[in-house]
Amino acid sequence: MASITLSGITKSFGGNRALRGLDLDIADGEFFVLLGRTGAGKTTTLRIIAGLEQPDSGTVAINGQDVGGRNAAERDVALVLQQYSLYPRLTVRGNLEFPLRSRIRKFSEDEIAARVEKAARTLQITPLLDRKVERLSGGEMQRVSIGRAIVREPQVFLMDEPLSALDAKLRESLRVELKALHADLGATFLYVTHDQVEAMSMGDKIGVLRNGQLVQVGTPTEVYTRPRNTFVARSVGTPQMNLMHATMGAGSARIDGQPVDLPVAVGEGEAGRALTLGIRPEDLVLEGGAPLEARVFDVEDHGVIKILTLDIGPARLHATVSAKTHVALDEVVRLGWRPDKVLLFDRATGENLAYG
Amino acid sequence: MSAVRTPREVLLNRVAVVAVFVALFIMLAPIYWIASTSFKPRNLATTVPPTILFEPTVAPYVKTFVKRSQLRGPVEEEVYEAAPWWEQLVLDGGEKVVRSPSGEVKPSGYGQRFMNSLIVAVVSTIFAVSMGTLTAYGFSRFKVAGKDDWLFFILSTRMLPPVVVAIPMFLMYRVVGLNDTHLGLIILYTAFNLSFSVWIMKGFIDEIPREYEEAALVDGYTRMQAFFKIVLPEAMTGIAATAVFCFITAWNEYAFALIMTNRNAQTAPPFIPSQIGSGLPDWTVIAASTVLFLIPVAIFTFLLRNHLLRGMSFGAIRK
Ligand SMILES: Nc1ncnc2c1ncn2[C@@H]1O[C@H](COP(=O)(O)OP(=O)(O)OP(=O)(O)O)[C@@H](O)[C@H]1O
Ligand SMILES: [Mg+2]
């Protein structure tokens, strides 16, 4: 199997800098998710690793070996794209056999049949084998694309938003299947998405990409609980993390426009510093006697939990509370938080002070 | 598919159907005219008003292929009886079939011209389409320095009427010995069709998502293999459409064929009117050779009709 190392990759299209000195380390056998908004450079990164695009500078190494001199065929990576990745004139079987019939591989007919058979069984597409791919549904097409990737048993799987064209339900079930597949094959997966739920639920590690640079790499928990800056904080979690302008006091902080000081974990940030406070919706608590006064603006009932939208003066916050909580619209409630969960970001740079 | 239609739409539809029939009539009338003339006895070919009902004869087709000369007097009975049926048809028309001293029938030359037409049109079409497709692929997929300028330059070769260069071409061809050769005409027609072929094929290839080829590259194929296995089958509609246009252009070309060839490599278009000759023209023979001349294009277009229909709607609605 294989590790992937990108160092100092830059790539421009005309005057548009898609990647700016990207460094990325993916360990052997890891399920690495690259999360980024549209235009962040996710697809470009994959294409450079696959050898479909030449970086302007920087090196790509697979398994410690610089693959700069190898073309796409020689890199032994498999690529699954969002769409258009199936050959339209072939049957499902033809598509699955296609990579095995390449001249650089030389598999016997028996071997080809066996591998197609196995891949089809894994992905439960055996009944589709003799269908033309044009007639398949979106979910079936993506299964076949994944199948075409796995028949070769490559060292590295590159997936570019393979599920984004599917409906929510199918996406969920394929997500589970892909994870199972990863566990099964033990290969290195680099999975690209703009969907933070996908990133959080699938990745061993998440890399957050912004404007062609990695902002943070870490396990889903790390990225969720200790975001490096406000950008990452906003990128993961639904509803989004609450971010408020505040000013640092001694062991406490005062949200701009609020009359009371709120406790925060001490140790970071000197008094008087302009901050952005970050608090996850589930770390807000409603209880009598809590310091803040808030008005209920909206209640969304999700069954297990309720998501409240609360107005505190000029700011609007989200709080996730147990579904048993009963509040009415426009009701005035008392709001507090768990001090150890409050994150402090520098207001000017957006950097998390904990990372100093 | 049958969507709900308002009375207004139904009326418009009727009008459209009538318009199509009128257009069809206008297009088909000349073909009917020439085809019916080709089956008429010579004396009915130019009557005023035109003869609609007549007893069809294949005599014009026989005459198209054999060399004939005017009979000086009536034919002797035994000679007429001994002649095969097709020769009798010629004799009926007051002409006799010219034979060599050993008794073999001399051909009129139409067959050979027809073959020349086929060779020149088919080969130049193959060249124009294959070179055009490869060029278009290059322009479509790779960074080419000055791409737009090149494409414009290629198109600009179509901007002056080809006849303008006929005389200089003729002089150059004479120097290099390409006059009256198949190769000479093939080169001319290929060059003439190439710009068209590049532009049309570029349009079609641009429509084929690159993702197909890229998937093939990652799957372990070379660029060339990906081109042949993936792009070419996808481009089939475009290739068919381009081939039909190139074939028709080469097949119908008259001016260059007239100037550049005379005996060896002459194609049918300059030959057919040359039969008019002096004296009273035999229009039935002209009509018969014209009808035969139409057949290859009809067959070719018919064979490619499925591709063509898809080709026409390409880009608007696909699949
Ligand atoms: N072939 C290209 N030519 C010109 N610009 C390009 C090309 N490919 C990518 N770009 C630009 O590079 C930047 C990064 O593109 P990329 O496709 O990598 O983004 P992405 O993160 O995959 O976005 P998305 O989520 O929309 O797929 C974008 O600004 C894009 O416009
Ligand atoms: Mg993308």
pLDDT digits (tens, 9 = 90+) for A22-75: 999 999 999 999 999 999 999 999 999 999 999 999 999 999 999 999 988 889
Say if residue B32 is in the same domain as residue B123.
no
pLDDT digits (tens, 9 = 90+) for A286-304: 988 888 889 999 999 999 9
Percentage above 90 pLDDT, chain B: 61
Summarize the confidence of residues B110-132 as an average pLDDT. 96
Structural domain tally of chain B? 3
Question: Is the Cβ atom of A38 under 6 angstroms away from ligand 1?
Answer: yes
CATH superfamily name and code, A4-229: P-loop containing nucleotide triphosphate hydrolases (3.40.50.300)
CATH number at residue B115: 1.10.3720.10
Question: Is the Cβ atom of A47 under 6 angstroms away from ligand 1?
Answer: no
The three-state secondary structure class of B264 is: coil
Concatenated DSSP letters of A191-257: EEES-HHHHHHH-SEEEEEETTEEEEEE-HHHHHHS-SBHHHHHHSSSSPPEEEEEEE-SSEEEETT
Across all residues in chain B, what is the average pLDDT? Answer: 89
pLDDT digits (tens, 9 = 90+) for B157-193: 888 888 888 999 999 999 999 999 999 999 999 999 9
Domain membership of residue B260 (yes or no) is yes
Say if residue B123 is in the same domain as residue B92.
no
Say if residue B31 is in the same domain as residue B122.
no
Measured from the CA of A209, which atom of ligand 1 is nearest? 21
Domain membership of residue B317 (yes or no) is no
Confidence of residue B311 (pLDDT cuts 50, 70, 90): low
Confidence of residue B96 (pLDDT cuts 50, 70, 90): confident
Say if residue B16 is in the same domain as residue B138.
no
Say if residue B80 is in the same domain as residue B197.
no
8 Å CB contact of A99 and B234: no
| Per-residue confidence (pLDDT) for residue B317, from 0 to 100 | 40
* Ligand 1 atom 3 nearest Cα: A13
Specify whether domain A242-346 bears CATH 1.10.3720.10. no
pLDDT digits (tens, 9 = 90+) for B124-133: 999 999 999 9
| Per-residue confidence (pLDDT) for residue B25, from 0 to 100 | 96
Whether the predicted pLDDT of A267 surpasses 90: no
Q: Domain residues for B76?
A: 67-97
Say if residue B227 is in the same domain as residue B270.
yes
What is the C-alpha to C-alpha distance for residues B234 and B217, in angstroms, rounded to an integer?
A: 16
Domain membership of residue B160 (yes or no) is yes
Across all residues in chain A, what is the average pLDDT? Answer: 90
Confidence of residue A269 (pLDDT cuts 50, 70, 90): low
Residues of chain A with CATH 2.40.50.140: 242-346
Concatenated DSSP letters of A316-343: EEEEEEETT----TT-EEEEEE-GGG-E
Whether the predicted pLDDT of B316 surpasses 50: no
Task: Mean pLDDT check: name the lowest of A120-124, A206-210, B137-141.
Answer: A120-124
Whether the predicted pLDDT of A268 surpasses 60: no
8 Å CB contact of A134 and B319: yes
Say if residue B73 is in the same domain as residue B212.
no
Which residue shows structure tokens 């490869």? Answer: B134
Q: How many Å is the Cα radius of gyration of chain B?
A: 25
B132 min Cα distance to partner chain A (Å): 23
| Per-residue confidence (pLDDT) for residue A1, from 0 to 100 | 63
Say if residue B184 is in the same domain as residue B269.
yes
| Per-residue confidence (pLDDT) for residue B79, from 0 to 100 | 86
Say if residue B117 is in the same domain as residue B93.
no
| Per-residue confidence (pLDDT) for residue B294, from 0 to 100 | 94
Say if residue B136 is in the same domain as residue B266.
yes
Question: Is the Cβ atom of A94 under 6 angstroms away from ligand 1?
Answer: no
Domain membership of residue B263 (yes or no) is yes
Q: List CB contacts (< 8 A) between B221 and chain A.
A: 73, 102-103
Closest-approaching ligand to the CA atom of B141? 1
Select the more confidently predicted residue: A88 or A53: A53
* Ligand 1 atom 5 nearest Cα: A13
Question: Is the Cβ atom of A54 under 6 angstroms away from ligand 1?
Answer: no
The residues near B101 (Cβ < 8 Å, ≥ 6 apart) are none
Beta carbons of A170 and A135 less than 8 angstroms apart: no
Domain membership of residue B49 (yes or no) is no
What number of C-beta contacts closer than 8 Å exist between A and B? 59
Q: List CB contacts (< 8 A) between A81 and chain B.
A: 211, 215
Question: Is the Cβ atom of A18 under 6 angstroms away from ligand 1?
Answer: yes
Residues of chain A with CATH 3.40.50.300: 4-229
B319 min Cα distance to partner chain A (Å): 8
Whether the predicted pLDDT of B314 surpasses 70: no
pLDDT digits (tens, 9 = 90+) for A304-341: 999 999 998 878 999 999 988 889 999 999 988 888 88
Whether the predicted pLDDT of A270 surpasses 80: no
Say if residue B199 is in the same domain as residue B287.
yes
Select the more confidently predicted residue: A257 or B151: B151
Which of A13, A33, A210 should be mutated for ligand 1, with most atoms under 8 A from CB?
A: A13
Task: Mean pLDDT check: name the lowest of A165-174, B219-228, B235-244.
Answer: A165-174
Select the more confidently predicted residue: A253 or B58: B58
ipTM for the assembly? 0.81
Say if residue B216 is in the same domain as residue B185.
yes
Q: Return the closest-CA partner of residue A9 out of A209, A291, A260, A216.
A: A209
Q: List CB contacts (< 8 A) between A71 and chain B.
A: 217
**Amino acid identity at A200:** M
Q: List CB contacts (< 8 A) between B142 and chain A.
A: none
| Per-residue confidence (pLDDT) for residue B315, from 0 to 100 | 45
Q: How many Å is the Cα radius of gyration of chain A?
A: 24
* Ligand 1 atom 22 nearest Cα: A43
Q: List CB contacts (< 8 A) between B211 and chain A.
A: 81, 83-85
Domain membership of residue B48 (yes or no) is no
A9 min Cα distance to partner chain B (Å): 20
pLDDT digits (tens, 9 = 90+) for A171-227: 888 899 899 999 989 999 999 999 999 999 999 999 999 999 999 999 999 999 999
**Exposed e or buried b for every residue in A43-66, given b needs 16+ CB within 10 A?**
bbbbbbbbbbbebeebebbbeeee
Give the torsion sign (CA, B141, B143, B144, B149).
positive
Domain membership of residue B303 (yes or no) is yes
Q: How far is CA A73 from the centre of its chain?
A: 28
